[in-house]
Homo-oligomer: A and B are copies of this chain.
Amino acid sequence: MSTNEPLDLWLLDVELLKKLVVGIGEVSEITGVPQRQIRYWEEKGIIRAVKEGEGTTRKYDYLSIKKILLVKELLDDGYTLDAAAKKVEDRMRTVTEVFKKLADRTETANE
């Protein structure tokens, strides 16, 4: 399927992707979930922001945004917030695993 694997790997640069954390405003724009709601979900322990220190602003990484999108989807499907959270948890486990594997692969391949 892939005819140029090395370039693909270079392009992905999962290490960089992991560092890409965006502000709540952006996340809201991207996902369509209001800032207020995102903070609320965080309050409830469903989402976790990457705080970089005390008295700073929230930052969200790729996986968190993915998670927010999933929760939103499930809510639209009629799930309860807690139920959605639980279901998403399972899904994220798999994703995170693949993410790690991918990271390992590119880590050794990229330099």
Contact = CB atoms under 8 A, between A and B. Distances in A.
Give the oligomeric copy count: 2
B16 A22 contact: no
Given A19-B30, A21-B26, 9 more contacts: A7-B94, A8-B102, A10-B95, A11-B95, A11-B98, A16-B69, A20-B22, A20-B26, A26-B59
Contacts of A21: 22, 26
Interface string A29-59: 1100000000000000000000010000001
Interface of A: 1, 4-5, 7-8, 10-13, 16-17, 19-23, 26, 29-30, 52, 59, 62, 65-66, 69, 94-95, 98-99, 102, 105
